[in-house]
């Protein structure tokens, strides 16, 4: 099939050109709730929520109005020397739903940049602390943290990362945390997270050089919606504490109530030192992400212009007021609808209904975690 002329100028992300010729992308004109509509008014259920961003569905009147209102006042102002009052308000609201110990919010544009910021903060934190050797990161086998160079360096999905890991320094990686194909022959939730013994080996051997361990809590999304037990997450935190290494929780996919807690780490009693959020922050209206740190990390960066302690990082559109307005509306809806507490029965229902797919021989495993569901 010949691709229509319309696509000639476009390089589609994550898409092979030949496949693209045979299966041209849907051209979407409008959307409402869970549905997206193409130019012939065919409707499709957006089951992946446009890359896991749509916690309130498409075109939610409350969020749409909030963005429109903001648009009539201030569309953008740079966030250096200035900050929009909307972004300030967002900071206050976010604080109310974040784990208490996470106090300083650094805004950026997307999940990848939130991760870049987290890695840079960890590196500079150690330098300012006089720990000059702490320059390496540990990631989890199968981890995904975005597609920019730094974020890729801590990711370990061969299809995405292998050719680039050859060209620049990659991180150290643990075993795969794959409960469905557990190489230790264990069953999900009946193990001691043997796969993470590899983390202890790495920490023991490289403790002096490790800047931080970065992980997707409870759910490794991009590598195949792998859900892993709370005990395994606790083991990551416990080992990082034991070897005095910073933790970076990448909650870009798992944040904002999607797993049944506001943030997946809250299934444990631990709070990460650094946390990345994105995707659902604006309900998928506009690009925005944030990296949030504990006070003891921010403390090290305190000082004036001449102190050399400044975190020299920022993006043109950081703290964009339109995105901030969408994020404020999102958090207001989260509070209004008592998310995640109110989702308990719905999550159970999702799990029950998805389990019906077990009747098909092609189905290996049905995995749910809160309102996230996947079928292997
Ligand atoms: C999507 C994702 C990212 C990258 O976010 P982008 O907005 O695509 O840059 C990082 N980490 C996780 C866990 C993700 O799911």
CA 112 / ligand 1 centre spacing (Å): 6
Torsion of CA 340, 345, 349, 352, to 10 degrees: 100
The distance from CA 110 to its chain's CA centroid, rounded to whole angstroms, is 9
Is 146 touching ligand 1 by the criterion CB < 6 Å? yes
User: How far is Cα 273 from Cα 264, in angstroms, rounded to an integer?
Assistant: 14
Buried b (16+ CB within 10 A) or exposed e, 221-260: bbbebbbbbebbbbbbbbbbeebebbbbbbbbbbbbbbbb
Q: Is 144 in the pocket of ligand 1 (CB under 6 A)?
A: yes
Structure confidence at residue 160 (pLDDT): 85
Query: What is the distance in A from the centroid of ligand 1 to the CA of 109?
Result: 11
The minimum-distance atom of ligand 1 relative to the CA of 216 is 13
178 CA distance to ligand 1 centroid (A)? Answer: 20
Please report the atom of ligand 1 found closest to the CA of residue 289.
7
Question: Which of 13, 109, 112 to probe ligand 1 with, by most ligand atoms within 8 A of CB?
Answer: 112
282 phi and psi, to 5 degrees?
A: -110, 20
Any atom of ligand 1 within 6 Å of the Cβ of 278: yes
- Secondary structure of residue 37 in the 3-state scheme: strand
State in Å: Cα 64 to ligand 1 middle. Answer: 24
Counting ligand 1 atoms within 8 A of each CB, the residue from 52, 214, 252 with the most, and so the one to mutate, is 252
Looking from the CA of residue 278, the nearest atom of ligand 1 is 7
> Which atom, in ligand 1's list, is nearest to the CA of 115?
10
Question: Does any ligand 1 atom lie closer than 6 A to the CB of residue 290?
Answer: no
Of all helices (H) and strands (E), which one includes residue 239?
A: helix 230-242
Q: What pLDDT is stored for residue 3 in this prediction?
A: 61
Copy the structure tokens of residue 85.
């009052």
Instruction: Output the tens digit of pLDDT for each of the chain's 376 residues.
Output: 456 777 888 899 988 888 888 888 899 999 999 999 998 999 999 999 999 999 999 999 999 999 999 999 999 999 999 999 999 999 999 999 999 999 999 999 999 999 999 999 999 999 999 999 999 999 999 999 999 999 999 999 988 888 888 887 789 999 999 999 999 999 988 999 999 999 999 999 999 999 999 999 999 999 999 999 999 999 999 999 999 999 999 999 999 999 999 999 999 999 999 999 999 999 999 999 999 999 999 999 999 999 999 999 999 999 999 999 999 999 999 999 999 999 999 999 999 999 999 999 999 999 999 999 999 9
CA–centroid distance, residue 5 to ligand 1 (Å): 31
> Which residue owns the Cα nearest ligand 1 atom 6?
111
Q: Which ligand 1 atom is at minimum distance from the Cα of 221?
A: 15
Does residue 116 line the site of ligand 1, with CB under 6 A? no
CB distance 112 to ligand 1 below 6 Å? yes
pTM above 0.75, yes or no: yes
- For ligand 1, is residue 250 a contact (CB within 6 Å)? yes
Provide the strand spans (E) within 53-155. Answer: 102-108, 136-141
Exposure string of 24-63, with b = 16+ CB inside 10 Å and e = fewer, is: eeeeeeebeeeebbeeeeeeeebeebeebbbbbbbebeeb
Atom of ligand 1 lying closest to residue 251 CA: 13
Q: Whose CA is nearest to atom 15 of ligand 1?
A: 253
- Report pLDDT for 310: 96
Cα–Cα distances (Å) from 332 to 10, 32, 115, 339, in that order, read: 37, 20, 26, 10
**Does the beta carbon of 110 sit less than 6 angstroms from any atom of ligand 1?**
yes
């Amino acid at each position: 099939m010949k691709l229509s002329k319309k696509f000639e100028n476009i390089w589609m992300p994550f898409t092979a050109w030949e496949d693209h010729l045979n299966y041209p992308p849907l051209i979407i004109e409008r959307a409402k709730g869970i549905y997206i509509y193409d130019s012939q008014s065919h409707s499709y259920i957006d089951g992946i929520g446009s890359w896991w961003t749509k916690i309130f569905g498409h075109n939610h009147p409350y969020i749409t109005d909030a963005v429109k209102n903001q648009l009539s006042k201030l569309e953008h102002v740079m966030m250096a020397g200035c900050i929009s009052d909307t972004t300030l308000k967002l900071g206050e609201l976010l604080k109310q739903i974040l784990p208490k110990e996470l106090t300083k919010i650094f805004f950026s544009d997307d999940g990848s940049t939130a991760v870049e910021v987290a890695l840079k903060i960890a590196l500079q934190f150690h330098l300012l602390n006089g720990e000059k050797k702490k320059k390496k990161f540990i990631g989890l086998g199968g981890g995904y943290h975005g597609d920019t160079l730094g974020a890729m360096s801590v990711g370990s999905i061969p299809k995405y990362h292998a050719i680039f890991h050859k060209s620049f320094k990659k991180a150290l990686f643990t075993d795969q945390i794959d409960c469905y194909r557990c190489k230790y022959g264990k069953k999900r939730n009946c193990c001691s997270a043997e796969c993470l013994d590899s983390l202890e080996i790495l920490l023991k051997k490289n403790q002096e050089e490790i800047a931080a361990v970065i992980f997707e809590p409870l759910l490794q999304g991009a590598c195949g919606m792998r859900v892993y037990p709370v005990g395994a997450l606790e083991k990551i935190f416990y080992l990082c504490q034991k070897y005095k290494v910073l933790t970076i929780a990448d909650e870009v996919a798992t944040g904002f109530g999607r797993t049944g807690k506001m943030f997946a780490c809250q299934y444990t009693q631990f709070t990460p030192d650094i946390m990345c959020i994105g995707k659902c922050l604006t309900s998928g209206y506009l690009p925005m992400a944030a990296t949030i740190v504990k006070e003891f990390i921010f403390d090290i960066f305190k000082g004036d212009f001449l102190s050399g302690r400044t975190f020299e990082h920022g993006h043109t559109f950081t703290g964009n007021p339109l995105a901030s307005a969408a994020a404020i509306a999102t958090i207001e809806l989260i509070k209004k609808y008592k998310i995640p507490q109110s989702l308990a029965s719905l999550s159970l229902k999702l799990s029950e209904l998805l389990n019906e797919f077990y009747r098909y021989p092609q189905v290996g495993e049905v995995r749910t975690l809160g309102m996230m569901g996947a079928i292997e």
